[in-house]
Amino acid sequence: MRRPRNAAPGECGGRSPTKNARSAVIKRADVNRHLATVGRRLKAGELGSLPVLLGLATIWMVFQALNSQFLSARNLSNISVDMVGTGMIAVGIVFVLLLGEIDLSVGSVSGLAAAAFAVLNVNLGMAEGVAALVAILVGSATGVVQGFFVAKVGVPSFVATLAGLLSWNGLMLYILGSTGTINLDDEGLVALLTSFYFNDVAVAYTLAAAGTAAYFLVSYHDSRCRRSLGLGSRPLGDIALHTAMVAVAVFAAAYVLNRFQGLPLALLIFLLVVIALECVLRRTLYGRDIYALGGGVEAARKAGLKVAWVRISVFTISGTMAAVGGLFLASRVTSASQTSGSGNLLINAIAAAVIGGTSLFGGRGSTWSALLGALVIQSIASGVALMGVPTAAEYMITGGVLLLAVVIDSLSRRAQKAHGRI
C-alpha cells in the first residue's frame, strides 16, 4: 500500500502514533483537571442538586420497601401530575428567594386566581381562555402591588406579603359569594390541563430524544464559548457522560409514563415553564441582575442596577406563577372553593423551593430547584397516602426534610465563606 503524500515513515494519513498518544494524554489531563475542579467545588460547599437527588432516591427506596406499589407506573404518573400545581407556585418562589426575600401570599393568590376564573367562566359565561388570562393577570397585579410596597415604600417583604395573604384570601371569599364552591366544566380547557394525556408512546420518546439532544448541544456550545474566551471549560468526555445520564433519566421517565396513560399534558407544560424561566435566569441580563442583587444590594446599586424595578418584577413573577399554579390546582379537583389556596399549600411551595436547593440567603438557586423540591414533597405525600398512616406523619417527614435542607444550605454557605467564594 502506498504511503499518503506528505506522510512521514510510520504515519498513516499524515498522523503519527506520537501525535495520537499526545492527544490522548491531553484529553486525560483535561478530564483529570475537570474532576479536580469538581472535587474542589464540592469541598467548598458548592453541592448543586446532589443532596436533593440523594434524598429523593432515599425516599423512593424507603417507600418502595414499605409498599411495592409506590414505584408503579400509575403512582409515579399521578405524582408527576399532582406536583405541578405546587411546583408552578414554587417556581415563582425561587425568583423571590434569589433576592433573599419571601412571599407568604402565594397560597391566597392561587386561590384568588382560581376563584376569579370560576366566577368569570361559570357564573358570568366568559370564554375559558379569556377568563384564564384574566385570572393570571389578577395574580400579576397582586405581585405588582406587593412589590411596590417592598421596593418603593420599604416595607419588609415578610410584612407586605403577610398582609397580602390575609387581604387576597378575604377578596377570594368575597367574590365566591355565599355559594362557597363553584364547579368547573369537566371537559373544559382548564380541566383538561391535568386530565389530558398523550397516549401515543412516540410523543414521550420523541420529546426525550429532543431534550437529550438539546442538552448536549447547549452544553457543547457553552464549553466552546468558554474555551474561546480562555475560561475553564468542560471536556467533551464530561459532557458526553452527563448527556448519557440525562438520557437514562428522561427515557426511563418516558418508559414509565407510557406504561400507564402516556405523557401528561400538565407535566409537559411544567417542564416547558421550568426550562423557559431557567433560560431567563441564566441567559439574560435580567437574570444576571437578579443573581447580582441577591448577592448584595449595595454592590448591585453601585453597579447601576435598577434595584426597585428588579424587586417589583420578581414579586410580579411570583404572583403570576401563583395564579398559574392555582389554575392547575383547580383543574385537579375541577372546582374553586373557599378552601382553595389554604391548608399546607404555602408551606409546601416554599419548602419545595428550599428543599430543591434554592438558598434562603439569596443569590443561589434555579427553577429546577422547584421541580426537584415539588417531586420530593409530592413523593412524601404519595408514600404516606399509600401506607394509610395519618397526615401528621406527612407533616413531620416534610418538616424534617425541610430542616435538613436548610441545615445543608447553612453548612454549604459556611464552607463557601471559608473558601472565599462569597
Q: Which three cell numbers stand for residue 48?
A: 448543586
* Integer Cα distance of 144 and 317 in angstroms: 9
pTM of the complete model beyond 0.85: yes
Q: Which three cell numbers stand for residue 179?
A: 355559594
- Burial of 8 from C-beta contacts in 10 A (0-12 / 13-18 / 19+): exposed
First-to-final CA distance of the chain: 63
- Burial of 39 from C-beta contacts in 10 A (0-12 / 13-18 / 19+): exposed
Q: How many CB atoms lie within 10 A of CB 362?
A: 20
Q: What is the pLDDT of residue 303?
A: 79
Contact predicate 18/11, CB 8 Å: no
* CA-to-CA dists, residue 210 to 4, 176, 401, angstroms: 41, 44, 34
* Integer Cα distance of 169 and 392 in angstroms: 25
* Integer Cα distance of 196 and 262 in angstroms: 9
Q: What is the pLDDT of residue 366?
A: 92
* Per-residue model confidence as pLDDT tens for the chain (422 residues): 444 444 444 444 444 556 555 555 545 555 555 555 555 555 544 556 778 888 889 999 999 999 999 999 999 999 999 999 999 999 999 999 999 999 999 999 999 999 999 999 999 999 999 999 999 999 999 999 999 999 999 999 999 999 999 999 999 999 998 778 899 999 999 999 999 999 999 999 999 999 999 999 999 998 888 888 877 777 888 889 999 999 999 999 999 999 999 999 999 999 999 999 999 999 999 999 999 898 788 777 877 888 899 999 999 999 999 999 999 999 999 999 998 888 889 999 999 999 888 888 888 889 999 999 999 999 999 999 888 887 777 788 888 888 887 888 777 767 766 655 55
What are phi and psi for residue 197, nearest 5 degrees?
-130, 145
Q: Which three cell numbers stand for residue 146?
A: 406587593
Nearest to 364 by CA among 404, 399, 412: 412
Contact predicate 113/139, CB 8 Å: yes
